[in-house]
Amino acid sequence: MLRLTKFKNISKQDLDKIVNKHYTHWKQFSDEMDLEDTIYKFKKLYTNDKVLPIGYACYDENTLIGFCTLRTESLKK
């Protein structure tokens, strides 16, 4: 059974996996990408109670299968 969970409601271990996976993938496309900035965004910005920015993790039973973030900057105007 699939379920979406807000980043603020997942374990620290799963959030660390998400941060590392995101950084490892996208760093190859941007020399300016900073690990500390990525950690801050995922652990501080995307785990808040505000509407945006926000992050979600997708699970199949207890297995993390994907994640996404949504920021105001991502929305078309």
pLDDT at 26: 95
pLDDT at 77: 64
Using the predicted structure, report yes or no on whether residue 75 has a pLDDT greater than 80. Answer: no
Q: pLDDT by residue (tens digit) across 3-62?
A: 999 999 999 999 999 999 999 999 999 999 999 999 999 999 999 888 899 999 999 998
Domain boundaries, the chain: 1-50
User: Which two three-digit tokens encode residue 13?
Assistant: 């271990």
